[in-house]
Amino acid sequence: MKEEEIKNEEAMKEFDWKQHIRDVHNDMAEDIQYLYPNNSTEAFLTAIWKMSIDVLEGMEIQVIVDNKDDLYISSGTPAFVSFEGHEDELVNGKPMQIPIKSWIHTHPFGHAYFSSTDWKTINTWKPILKSAIVLGDSQYLAYDPETILAKKVFYGLLAEDKSKGEEE
Assigned domain for 166 exists: no
Assigned domain for 3 exists: no
CATH of the domain at 23: 3.40.140
Q: Give residue 99's domain range.
A: 12-154
Total domains present in the chain: 1
pLDDT tens column, 29-68 = 999 999 999 999 999 999 999 999 999 888 899 999 999 9
What beta strand segments (E) does 3-146 contain? 60-65, 71-76, 102-106, 132-136, 139-144
Assigned domain for 121 exists: yes
Whole-model pTM? 0.82
Angstrom distance (rounded) from CA 53 to CA 57:
5
